[in-house]
Each structure stands twice: as structure tokens, then as C-alpha cells.
Structure 1
Amino acid sequence: MRLIKLKNVVSGMTLAKGIYSCEGKVLLAEGVRLTGSYIDRLKEIGIYEIYIEDEISKDIHIRDIIDDQTRIAAKRTICQAVRDLRLKKSFDVPRVSEIVNRIVDDLLSNKNIMINLADLRSVDEYTFAHSVNVAVVAIVIGKALGYNQLRLRDLGIGAILHDIGKTEIPLEILNKPGRLEASEVEIMKKHPEYGYEILKRHRDISTLSRGIPLMHHERIDGSGYPYGKKGDEIHEFAKIVAIADTYDAMTSNRIYKQKVAPDKAIEYLVSTGNYNFDYNIVKLFLNHVTLYPVGTIVRLNTAQKGIVIDNNQYSPTRPIVRIIKDEKLHSSSEFEEIDLQKHLTVFIEEICDE
């Protein structure tokens, strides 16, 4: 299995991972042989990438960091919460708590966590998938910080609801495909306060959880919003979610912006540490995220092309790579596998589309 951009998909390829709507309905089932009409439909609904099964990746298994059914249920829960709030109704807080507990349980059962956010999403469903991913990444960081289960739950609830204030933002601004006008930016910047006010109406959501939507856009150097808080004025939960939010936003396709590769997002977080983010938390995050996810096509300094088949947890820049094209870019008949941790003169130069 490997991830491939939809523009590189051709008829006859086999879908390796099912595609679901935010309600959990199957849009395209795993194992389907893709046709031109299926590919066109995926373009229409805003799917930019899919997982395929082919000769070079047939024995590669890409596992999501949480159970597939947990992810589907979580996206459905957030989807419903957003709809309820748009209709000026209360959302189901016990259901959100239940789904966060499931995410926490999934992650606590995994001893050696490496963040691999393997969900497929359309650009129209960005909000729901993003909310779930931010909760997952935040809980991973909280676990690394030694939080107990109750604290992880409070962190997870605030994280999965961090953008809930956007339900008060007009859809024409929220879904605008181009750059926002200055006046629209100011309206968008109100969503942290809106989110806090929404959660404040629910007494069964803790004060710590409520503070996350309010403060997740604050920055260590005081350059954030809505209050320009800095350093220790920002709660640790909000510092964690700021990192999780930025990482997933950068590595996701959106209506107005194409995603960047994980290594570029990580480079940004490192370079802005102690300015925008708590650098100690960034360093902890780096121990649990892979720069080159399994299934990624890479070019080596030897001019060979390969596909990442596994990661070395303590050497994130040096995964195990299967060579699929030689230095002259001829397809390899036999797939040599190189552990870059053991071949120190060989390294990855860049991530490739194909």
C-alpha cells in the first residue's frame, strides 16, 4: 500500500484503503479497481490523494495511529456537533467525551507511538478530520509528557473542539477559496472567543478543556491572538494544541492551500520554536512523528528512487527504503532494501510525487 496523488492515478489501479464520508458512509470500498468515472468522482468531491496497492507496495501495511472505526466514529461525532451548533442547538457533550475516551484508549494501548495520520479526506471535510487529528496528536504529546488518563481526556476534549468557534463564522468566509480580506481576517480571529463561549455553556466540560479553544492561537512571543499572551501566560494544554493544530494544518490539503510534506512542516516547527511554540514541547513531538511516512516515494543522494517501508523510531531521518529505480531511473527487477541507519553515507534528498 502507498499514498499517491490523484493526478497520478490511472484506470486499473486498486484502491487499498476505503474512502468514507464524515457520516461514516462508504464512498468507495477497499479493493475496488479504479475506473475513469471513479477517478472523476473523487476529483469532484475534493479528494486529492488515495492509497493504492501495486507491485512495489503490495506487502507494505500502513496502519493509522488509531483504529479505523474509532476515526470514523470521531469524524461523525464532530460532523454532527458542527451541524447542531450551526442550527443553534446544543451538541452532544457525552458523545464527544465517549469518543475522546476511545482515542485515549487506542493510544494508551500503543507503547511505541509514531504519528501516522493515515486518514483520507475531501477538502470539504477538512474541519472534521482536522479536529480529530489535532486531538490525536495532542494526546500523543500529552502521553509523552506523562499525563494521567483524566488529564489526557481533558486535553483531548479541548483539542477535538479547538475550532468549534468556527461554527459562528459565516460559511462564505470559512469556505472562501482565495485570500481573505483584512476585515474577514478580523472576523475569523474571533473564533477562539466564540469557541470558549460555546464550551462555557456546558458545565460538564472542564475549565482546562474550555481554555484550549480560547488560547490555541496564542504564541510564545506574544504575537498570537486573541489576547497576545506570551510564555507561561499560555496554559500548557494550549501550547500542545498549537503545535498539533499547525502540524496537521500544514500537512493537509485545504480549499485555498496545498499541503506540505511532513519534513517541511517539522522544519517549520523547529525553526519557529521559542518564537511561536514551546520548544521543549516541539522536541518531544519530534520523538513521535516520522519525517518520511511508510509508503512515501523518496529520492536518495545516490540518484536512486525508493519507497519507505518502515521507520527507525530513534532515527526519524533514516528509514528503511526499498529501491524501486536505479541511479539511471530504470525500474528495478529485484527490490533491494536499504536501512539508512546502517548505511550512513546514503540519505534522502527529497520526497517525490512518483
Structure 2
Amino acid sequence: MRLEFINNVREKDILGKSILTSEGQVLLKAGVKLNDNYINKLRKLGVFYLYVEDERLGDVEVEDEKLTELKQFTIKSMSNILADIHDCNGKKLMESLTDVEDMISYIIEIGDINKSLYDIKTYDNYTFIHSVDVCIMASFLGVSAGYDNYALNEIGVGAALHDVGKTKIPTSILNKKDKLTEEEFREIKKHPIYGSQLLKKNVSISNNIIKIVEQHHERVDGKGYPYGLSSKQIVPSAKLVCICDVYDAVSSDRCYRKKFRPNEAYELILSGSGSSFDQRMVSYFKNTFAIYPLGCCVKLSNGVEGYVIRQNRGFPDRPAVRVLYNSKTRETVPSFEVDLIKNTDLVVNSIV
């Protein structure tokens, strides 16, 4: 299947990957034949790209139905999780966290990021979607970093709860479209403290999970918040979640800005290595996640355009590309593949 910008999707295209609402419901299921009504509604919801089936790219698989189902359950559980935290109901919280832990366990089992990272997001209820996506990313990154299963569970739960303190911030500030005042921004920067305070009231939550929530906005150069901690003062799991939080945040639409393109978000993380982000964690990030999503159309430095069909581990900017048409005339040509690992004189110039 191929990844297509919404404006390039046509009637009768077949949806290749299910789209979830912010409440965890399936908005459109993979296999649905798209029409103008569906396409216009998706555009209004803020969906800018989606996967569609393409027989020329039939070997490009991006839908993992089991993970989609687990993600759906986890999103649905988030409201109960937050309520249980506020009520300090440890028993119910442990029950509510079961869906999160089941998803983490499945990620540990499959370890294949290409089936989960690039998902479709909508505007509404951003915090739930963002929290679950950060949980997924952090779990995959933790696997790559070599954490054991106990630590991976703490990392995943901490990532899912990292923004719990925002429930103490007025929605008028969280959803403000205009520039925040200095006072409003100071309040926003307190959400890690609020989150830590909430979790400390729940004896079932480990200290490491609390540290992740409290420190996920700290930076290794000491320029983060809320405490301005520097590298050795920040727990490693918080450094890991920090990277995933930033990457997913800038990859999503917000009320005050548009999302970054995948390569822009990726470069933001790499450029922050050693300053904003821990170098070792950025190295794991680079070896785990690729810059260009499977199925997306890219233009190479020789002018050829094609679709990413395979990632090369450890070389996030050098995927294998299948060329299907003449990039100048847009005429179909016999397909051929260009593996950028083998063709070192070529690079990806842009996403088309």
C-alpha cells in the first residue's frame, strides 16, 4: 500500500490502514472504499494523509490488526485511568492499566516499529492519542535500548501517563490558539509537577514512573523544566520518553501550529543530540525509527520518484525505493528498485 496526502486521494481508493478516533473507536476500517464524502470528512477532522491499497505495492504491509485493537482498547481506557489516579483508587487503577500493559507486552513480543509508528491522528482529544502514541514509541525504543521486561513496562506506563498533570491545567490555556501569556506558559510548565503530585498519592505507582512524569520535559543541557535538571540528574527512562514525546508532539497538528513533516521531526531529534537530548538515547532512536514512512513517495537526488518499500536498519535516511513511473511525464514504467544502501551516490531529496 502507499501513503498518500489527503488531497491526492481519489474516489474508489481502498483504505489500507484503519483510522481511529481520539476515543479509540474505529472511524474507518481498512478495506473501505473511499468516496468524496469520506474524504471531505477526514479532511475536516485534520487527517492530512492516509494509507491506500495499491497492487503495485502489495508487499508493503503497515497494518497490524492486533496492535490497532490493543491501541484502541488503551485509548478507551485513558479516561478511566485518569479518573482512578485522581480518586487515588489503587485497585481500580491497576485494573485500568491492564490495557496499557497488554499493549506494551505485545510490542515487546513483535518488536516491529514499521507496523505502528506512522499513524493517523485527529485534532480532538489530542492528549489521549498523544499519550498512547508516546507509549508505543517509548516501548519500541526501550526494546532497542535493551531494557528488561519489568523496566519496559515502567517505561510504557510512564509514557502513557506523562501528561497526566495537564488535567490540572485549565482547558482555556491548553486549547488557546493565540500566543500564551508569560503567566499562562508558567502554568503549562507546572504540569510535570502536578502529574508527579497526583501519582505520589497512588502507592501502586513506582518511583521510576513518577520520575518519568516529573522529568519528561527536562533537557540534558539543563534548559528544560520544571527544575532545570542536567544530564546526570535525569533518570535514563525520562530521557528516553522525552525524545518520544517531542517527536510525536511535533508530528501532530496542534491548535497553534501545523505538524512537521516526518523528515523535519526526525532532524529535530538528531540536531538536539547532546544538547536537548541524551546522545545515547538519540543513537538508539536512530537505530529504531526511520525517517521516511513505508509507502510514502520520495524524490531522489537524480530526479527519480518512487515509494519506500523497505527500511534499512541503522540507516534511517537510506531506505529501499520502488520506482513506478517517469517523474517528469508521470507515465507508468516497468517498476525497478533502488536500494540507497547499495546506491551510495543517491540520497532522498524530499517527500513528494
Common topology (TM > 0.5)? yes
CA distance in 1, matches of 2:88, 2:154: 20
Shift of 1:64: 5.0
Shift of 1:323: 0.7
Number of residue pairs matched by the alignment: 350
Cα pair 1:320 1:339 within 8 Å, conserved: yes
CA distance in 1, matches of 2:291, 2:329: 24
Deviation readout 1:278-321 (Å, 9 max, x if unpaired): 11111111100111121111001111110101111133222111
State whether structure 2 residue 243 is matched by structure 1 residue 264: no
Shift of 1:70: 1.1
Cα pair 2:309 2:322 within 8 Å, conserved: yes
Opposite residue 15 of structure 2, the aligned amino acid is L
Cα pair 1:65 1:107 within 8 Å, conserved: no
Residue number in structure 2 paired with 1:324: 324
Q: TM-score, normalising length from structure 1?
A: 0.91
Runs of at least 5 residues in structure 1 that lack an aligned partner in the other structure: none
Cα pair 2:71 2:132 within 8 Å, conserved: yes
User: In the TM superposition, what are the counterparts of 1:336-347 in structure 2 within 5 Å?
Assistant: 336-347=336-347
Cα pair 1:116 1:290 within 8 Å, conserved: no
Residue number in structure 2 paired with 1:97: 97
Q: Could you say what secondary structure the match of 1:23 adopts?
A: coil
Q: Which runs of 4+ in 1 moved over 6 A?
A: none
Shift of 1:175: 1.6
Residue number in structure 2 paired with 1:160: 160
Opposite residue 216 of structure 1, the aligned amino acid is H
Opposite residue 102 of structure 1, the aligned amino acid is D
Shift of 1:219: 0.9
Residue number in structure 2 paired with 1:182: 182
User: In the TM superposition, what are the counterparts of 1:1-354 in structure 2 within 5 Å?
Assistant: 1-63=1-63, 67-82=67-82, 84=83, 89=87, 92-110=92-110, 113=113, 116-352=116-352
CA distance in 1, matches of 2:10, 2:114: 31
Cα pair 1:47 1:122 within 8 Å, conserved: yes
Cα pair 1:217 1:225 within 8 Å, conserved: yes
Shift of 1:96: 4.5
CA distance in 2, matches of 1:331, 1:130: 40
Cα pair 1:115 1:289 within 8 Å, conserved: no
Shift of 1:113: 4.9
CA distance in 2, matches of 1:157, 1:103: 10
Opposite residue 219 of structure 1, the aligned amino acid is R
Shift of 1:110: 2.5
CA distance in 1, matches of 2:340, 2:160: 36
Shift of 1:2: 2.2
Shift of 1:244: 1.0
CA distance in 2, matches of 1:289, 1:115: 11
Deviation readout 1:106-160 (Å, 9 max, x if unpaired): 2222356558413222111321121112112222232233222111111211111
Q: Could you say what secondary structure the match of 1:308 adopts?
A: strand
Opposite residue 246 of structure 1, the aligned amino acid is V
CA distance in 2, matches of 1:45, 1:344: 40
Opposite residue 239 of structure 2, the aligned amino acid is K
CA distance in 1, matches of 2:131, 2:173: 19
CA distance in 2, matches of 1:85, 1:187: 24
CA distance in 2, matches of 1:201, 1:148: 27
Cα pair 1:124 1:255 within 8 Å, conserved: no
In structure 2, relative to structure 1, the CA distance for the partners of 1:260 and 1:110 (3 Å cut) is same
Shift of 1:327: 4.5
Cα pair 1:65 1:113 within 8 Å, conserved: no
Opposite residue 95 of structure 2, the aligned amino acid is R
In structure 2, relative to structure 1, the CA distance for the partners of 1:2 and 1:330 (3 Å cut) is closer
| Backbone CA RMSD of aligned residues | 2.3
Q: Could you say what secondary structure the match of 2:27 adopts?
A: strand
CA distance in 1, matches of 2:31, 2:114: 26
Cα pair 1:65 1:116 within 8 Å, conserved: no
CA distance in 1, matches of 2:314, 2:303: 25
CA distance in 2, matches of 1:58, 1:256: 38
Cα pair 1:66 1:103 within 8 Å, conserved: no
Cα pair 1:4 1:49 within 8 Å, conserved: yes
CA distance in 2, matches of 1:338, 1:65: 30
